[in-house]
Amino acid sequence: MQRRLTKRRLSQYTAARRRRIKRALIGAFAGCAVLVDAGAAAAQAAAATEQLAISTPPAGSTEWAADHSLGRSLPDPATADARTVAAFFASLTPEQATRLVARYPLVVGNLDGAPVKLRYQANRLAIRAEADRWRFRAADPKLTANDRSAARLRADNTEELLAPGRQVLAFDPRGRGLVSEVYGDLASAQKVAVLVPGSDADLAHFDQPSDPLRSPSGMARALFDEEHRQSPGTRTAVIAWTGYVTPLGLGPDAVTSRLAEVGAPRLERLLDGLGATSHPETPPALFCHSYGSVVCGIAAPKIHEDRPTDLVVFGSPGMGVQNASGLGDGVRVWAARNPTDWIGNVPYLEVGGLGHGADPTGEGFGAIRVSSAGAAGHTGYFAPNTASLHNFGDIALGRYASVTHPPATS
């Protein structure tokens, strides 16, 4: 009996010690960032909460799966690969495809492998319906003033996606809202790039007019414009991919890979879809910011192309590995971090599921280091006239000889 009690007390002590270590590590990660970015980071850390990851198909998928109006089964949004989806839509008449878009806009709009223009059409319908739903809530007198105000803001953020010329590749209103947008002609692009953002990216922050380079759309637009500036004759497309639930602030989600592990398969499906619906000269390049580089690190070993995929990480807390060899041989890894980026003060380690491994800009990691001269802070990599923006354009265009590098450290 005494031995059993001793074992139980030891187990309880060990569990409590692990909880204390976890809290201390979370505090260390967040605290390091707060010290160098005390304003916004401190506020975010105080308000951070764990997020519910989205891994299931969007609303309407159950009805879609039960639909046999075409005399056959529709491809399962949860399991069908992109080429199966592409072959299915290629077999439809225009009238049949239009009917599916009207009945199931959220399913078609998020279905990797479906024709790109059909997805744009479906997502406009889904966005319009979502905006109307929030406008209705905003006018509901039974709601509190705060709830009506929040509904108006959500409606405004949603309606912004309906502006002329916008090409929304994916839209899912669940939770904080997932959005992906294309800049350029994806169907004819010779070069395609995908921007994978980090924490705090969602519908409400997809566009930030007052500080666009803090937003996924602003960073993607800047890259698209830089490619056009460098090579006006090259047909390019850039996707701002907010296709996974990102961490909020600097809380527990930011220092674990939990959300990234759910996001990585969604990124893999996007790439599979691009393989079926676009035909660039080289595999799409991935540009992974902050926590987005954790998502890219988990997805990297699943990337298998005839030629290496360029994977660019910047402002990275780590990629979940100790060196680039752990990412597989399907990627060519580039890494940038400017000296004023607070992420450099975060511990580069992994202990008990906390932290994201080694520094990708470290000499021993094995990435190709990229100069970010002129960039400032955690979100300054796409600022005009910075070495990072110029280099990112070179990498996206495949002009590797033009990329500049920081001086070697002694």
pLDDT tens track for 284-305:
999 999 999 999 999 999 999 8
How far is it, in rounded angstroms, from Cα 249 to Cα 290? 12
The CATH code of the domain that includes 365 is: 3.40.50.1820
**What contacts 143, CB < 8 A, 6 or more positions away?**
137, 151
Tens digits of per-residue pLDDT, 244-263? Answer: 999 998 888 999 999 999 99
Q: Please say if the pLDDT value at position 369 is more than 80.
A: yes
Same domain, 115 and 238: no
Residue 4 placed within a domain: no
DSSP H/E element including 236: strand 236-242
Q: Which residue, of 143, 166, 189, is where some domain finishes? A: 166
Q: Is the pLDDT of residue 358 over 60?
A: yes
Q: According to the model, what pLDDT value does residue 16 have?
A: 45
**In this structure, are residues 372 and 40 in contact, taking their beta carbons and an 8 Å threshold?**
no
Tell me the three state secondary structure of residue 388. helix
Q: Is residue 214 part of a domain?
A: yes
Final residue in a domain of this structure, among 115, 139, 166: 166
Number of Cβ within 10 Å of residue 330's Cβ equals 17
- The C-alpha atoms of residue 295 and residue 299 are separated, in whole angstroms, by 6
Range of the domain at 373: 21-54+175-410
C-alpha to C-alpha distance for 5 and 79, rounded to whole angstroms: 49
Work out the number of other CB atoms within 10 angstroms of the CB of residue 4.
8
Rounded distance, CA 84 to CA 94, Å?
Answer: 18
Least confident of 8-22, 121-135, 293-307, 374-388: 8-22
- Going by pLDDT thresholds of 50, 70 and 90, the confidence category of residue 7 is low
**69 in the same domain as 49:** no
pLDDT band at 306 (very low <50, low <70, confident <90, very high): confident
List, in order, residues 6 or more apart from 117 with CB less than 8 Å away: 187
Burial 148-175 (b: 16+ CB within 10 A, else e): beebeebbebbbbbeeeebbbbbbbbee
Q: Are 293 and 319 in contact (CB under 8 A)?
A: yes
* Residue 407 clears pLDDT 90, i.e. is over it: no
Residue whose pair of structure tokens reads 């001269």 in the numeric block: 373
- Tell me whether residue 127 is in a domain: yes
For 285, list phi and psi in degrees, rounded to 5.
-85, 140
Same domain, 211 and 83: no
Structurally, how many domains does the chain consist of? 2
Query: How would residue 6 be classed by pLDDT, with cut points 50, 70 and 90?
Result: low
227 and 244 in a single domain? The answer is yes
Q: How confident is the model at residue 60 (pLDDT cuts 50, 70, 90)?
A: very high
* 83, 197: one domain: no
Residue 245, exposed/middle/buried by CB under 10 A (0-12, 13-18, 19+)?
Answer: buried
Backbone angles phi, psi at 128, to 5 degrees: -60, -45
pLDDT of residue 43: 41
Place of tokens 């939770």: 175
At residue 242, what are phi and psi to the nearest 5 degrees? -100, 70
Answer whether 321's CB lies under 8 Å from 311's CB.
no
Residues 244 and 299 in one domain: yes
Residues 139 and 209 in one domain: no
For the segment 305-331, the average pLDDT, to the nearest whole number, is: 96
- Whether 32 and 65 share a structural domain: no
Q: Is the pLDDT of residue 175 over 60?
A: yes
Tokens of 188: 């004819």
